[in-house]
Amino acid sequence: MIGFIKKDLLTLKQNIKLYAVIFIIYIALAFYGKMSLMIVLPIFSVVMMFNTFVYDDYNKWNSYAATLPNGKRNVVVSKYLTSLILIAILSIIVIITSSIFSFFTNGNIIDMSVFQELIYTAIATMVVNSIMYPLIFKFGIERARTIIFVLVMVFAFIGSAVTSYFSSNYLKFEKIITLFKNYYRIIAIAVILILFVSSYLISRKIFAKKEF
Amino acid sequence: MENSVEVKNLVKEYDKFKLGEINFEIPSGSIVGLIGENGAGKTTLIKSILNIINTNNGSINIFNKDNKQYEKVVKEDIGVVLDNMFFPENLKIKDINSIMKGIFKNWNSETFNKYLLEFKLDEKLIIKKLSKGMRKKLEIATAISHEPKLLILDEPTSGLDPVVRSEVLDIFMDFIQDEEHSILLSTHITSDLEHIADKIIFINDGKIVLDKSRDELLDNYGVLKCDDTYLAKVDKKDIVSYKKNKYDCQILVENRDKMSKKYNDCVIDKISLEDLMVLIIKGERV
C-alpha cells in the first residue's frame, strides 16, 4: 500500500512549483485581507487529489494497478489515506503561515482560533472528499466532474433553503438548535467519521466490481 | 512437466462478443505465443488470467492456485506489460523504483537499474518524455524486476526497432532459462514468436483454433502454391483452407512432407505464422 501512496505523492511532487506559486498568490491575497488563508486547505487538497485522479485516468493507471498484488484494494485505500496526509500537510502549512501572519500583525505566534477554524475546514474538506471519491471510482473522472458540479449546485441550494427556514422559524427549533450548539463538536466528528468510512467502503465495493 | 497456468472451460461474455470455452495450459519453462487478429479475444483472455475482468464461467489456476482465491499471492510472482496501461506519465523513471519497492516484496532495485542501463534509460527522465520504444523498454524493465515466475506480455515489442526487439527477445530467452519461469506473450509480430515461442495458441473470434507446439505448426503445415486450375485437382480432404490471389492460389495443407510427395509437380513451402493466420482467418473452406 505504501507504494500506492508514494505514487500519488510523487505525482503531486512533479507539480510542486506550480502549487507553490498559487500558494504564494493566496498568501498575498490573505495578507491584504481579501480572503481567509483557511481556504487554502479545501481548495488545494481537493484540486490536488483531483489532479492525481486525472493523471491516473489519462494513463490507465487503475487498470495497471489492478494487475499488481492487492492492487484493487490499494488503489482505493491509498486515495483516502493520501487525502488525509494532504490535509495534514496543508494544515501544518496553514498553521505556520498563520503564525507568521499573527506574529507580524499582533505579536502572538499562536492564535487558538486558527486551530478551531482549521478543524472545521478539515472536516468540510473530508466531507467533500467522501462524496467525491465514490463518484469518481464509479463514473471515472470526466463524468464525475460534471456530476460533482451538479451536486455542489444542489447542495448549495438545499443548504441555503434549510438555513433560511431554520432562521425564520428559530423559536420552533430552539431546543434542537441549543442541543446541537452544545454537542456540535462531537456530532460533527462522529458524522464525518461515519461518512468517511462509509465512503471508503462504498468505493471499495465499486472498485472491486469494476472491469478493466 | 508442471504447468504455470491452467485455464479450464473459461467463458467471458460481452453483449456482442463471447470468449470461450477456452482450455489451455502454459507449461513451466516455456514461452507461449498468443496470436489472432484484433478483437479475437487475446486481451480479454489476458485480463481474465489477471482477474481484472469478471468471467462468466471456468477456472484459472496459476502456480496450482486459483487466480481469484489466491490473487495476492499469485500476483507477487507475475510481471505484466499491458498495452497503454502504465504509471502516470508525469512521474520520473526513478520514481517507479521507489514506488515498486512499496508494492512487491521481491522488488530488486539493482535488477531494475541494471535494465535501465542496458536499455539506456536515464532515470531522471519523466515518462512523458520517452519515445514509444523507450517507454516499452521501461515497461519491460518494470515487469521483470521483482523476480517474477510468470510474465504476461501484451504487445511487448510493438514500437521497438529490430535491434532493440532482438535485445528484448534475448532478455525473454534469458528469463526462460530458469525452468520455473514461463511467458505468455501476445503479439502481432508473429516473426518474434517464430524465434522464441515453444507453443502457439491461435485465437479466432473468441475461440482457440490452434494450440500446438511451434515446431509442430511450422513443420507440419505448408502452403501449396498453384494456379486456379490446379486447385480443382487437389483432393478436397487435403485442403485446410485456400485463398485465391490475383495471379495464384495458396492452399493451406497439413502434413507437408506427405503432401510434397503427393503433389510433387507443385511447390509446397514452409509456412510462416503470419501466413498461417491469414489463411485460417481469411481463407475459404472447401
The pLDDT tens digits of the residues spanning B85-105 come to: 889 999 999 999 999 999 999
User: Nearest-CA distance from B68 to chain A in Å?
Assistant: 11
User: Nearest-CA distance from B31 to chain A in Å?
Assistant: 20
For residue A99, what pLDDT is reported?
85
Give this complex's ipTM: 0.88
Instruction: Give the residue numbers in B contacting A (CB under 8 Å), as ranges.
Output: 47, 50, 52-54, 71-73, 75-76, 78, 80, 82, 84-92, 95, 98-104, 126
Instruction: Please give the CATH architecture assigned to the domain spanning B3-217.
Output: 3-Layer(aba) Sandwich (3.40)
How many Cα atoms are found within 13 Å in the side-chain-facing hemisphere of A123?
A: 17
Q: Please choose, from the candidates A62, A203, A83, A206, the residue with its C-alpha nearest in 3D space to the C-alpha of residue A133.
A: A203
CB contact (8 A) between residue B87 and residue A60: no
Nearest by CB to A69, which of B75, B86, B89? B75
SS3 B150: strand
User: Nearest-CA distance from A151 to chain B in Å?
Assistant: 28
DSSP state of B129: G
CA distance linking residue B103 with residue B82, whole number of Å: 18
- Rounded to 5 degrees, φ, ψ at B83 are -70, 120
CA distance linking residue B170 with residue B180, whole number of Å: 18
Give domain limits for chain A. 2-209
B92 to each of B87, B128, B141, how far by Cα in Å?
10, 9, 14
Tell me if chain B has a CB within 8 Å of the CB of A11: yes
Selected for mutation to probe chain A from B69, B74, B103 (highest A CB count within 10 Å) is B103
In contact, B168 and B145? CB cutoff 8 Å: no
Range list of H helices, chain A: 2-13, 16-31, 40-58, 61-66, 71-106, 112-168, 174-209
**In this structure, which amino acid lies at residue B106?**
N
pLDDT per position as a tens digit, B141-188: 999 999 999 999 998 988 788 888 888 899 899 999 999 999 999 998
Q: Please choose, from the candidates B159, B152, B93, the residue with its C-alpha nearest in 3D space to the C-alpha of residue B120.
A: B93
B19 to each of A197, B13, B40, how far by Cα in Å?
38, 6, 8
Tell me if chain B has a CB within 8 Å of the CB of A56: yes
What is the distance between the terminal CA atoms of chain A, rounded to a whole angstrom? 20
User: Nearest-CA distance from B161 to chain A in Å?
Assistant: 23
CA distance linking residue B213 with residue B197, whole number of Å: 8
- Rounded to 5 degrees, φ, ψ at A129 are -60, -40
Contacts 24+ apart (CB under 8 A), B160-165: B160/B133, B160/B136, B161/B133, B164/B119, B164/B133, B164/B137, B165/B189, B165/B192
> Taking CA atoms, what residue in A is nearest to B106?
A69
CB contact (8 A) between residue B80 and residue A64: yes
Mean pLDDT by 10 residues, chain A (212 residues): 94 91 87 78 91 92 94 95 95 88 75 80 90 94 87 82 77 72 80 94 95 89
CB contact (8 A) between residue A68 and residue B72: no
What is the distance between the terminal CA atoms of chain B, rounded to a whole angstrom? 38
Indicate whether B84 pLDDT > 90: no
Give domain limits for chain B. 3-217, 221-282
In contact, B246 and B211? CB cutoff 8 Å: no
CB contact (8 A) between residue A7 and residue B87: yes
CB contact (8 A) between residue A11 and residue B91: yes
Q: How many other CB atoms sit within 10 Å of the CB of residue A205?
A: 14
CB contact (8 A) between residue B85 and residue A56: no
Nearest by CB to B91, which of A4, A14, A70? A14
CA distance linking residue B233 with residue B231, whole number of Å: 5
pLDDT per position as a tens digit, B198-255: 999 999 999 999 999 999 999 999 999 888 888 888 888 999 999 988 888 999 999 9
Tell me if chain B has a CB within 8 Å of the CB of A16: no
**Contact residues, chain A, for B96 at CB < 8 Å:** none
Indicate whether B74 pLDDT > 80: yes
Name the E strands within B115-266: 150-154, 182-186, 199-204, 207-213, 222-226, 241-244, 249-253
For residue A34, what pLDDT is reported?
65
CA distance linking residue B220 with residue B230, whole number of Å: 22
CA distance linking residue A10 with residue B221, whole number of Å: 53
Indicate whether B72 pLDDT > 90: yes
User: Nearest-CA distance from B145 to chain A in Å?
Assistant: 13
How many Cα atoms are found within 13 Å in the side-chain-facing hemisphere of B188?
A: 9
In contact, B250 and B242? CB cutoff 8 Å: yes
Return the H-helix or E-strand segment holding B267. Answer: strand B267-270
For residue A169, what pLDDT is reported?
76
How many Cα atoms are found within 13 Å in the side-chain-facing hemisphere of A17?
A: 1
For residue A179, what pLDDT is reported?
73
Return the H-helix or E-strand segment holding B130. Answer: none
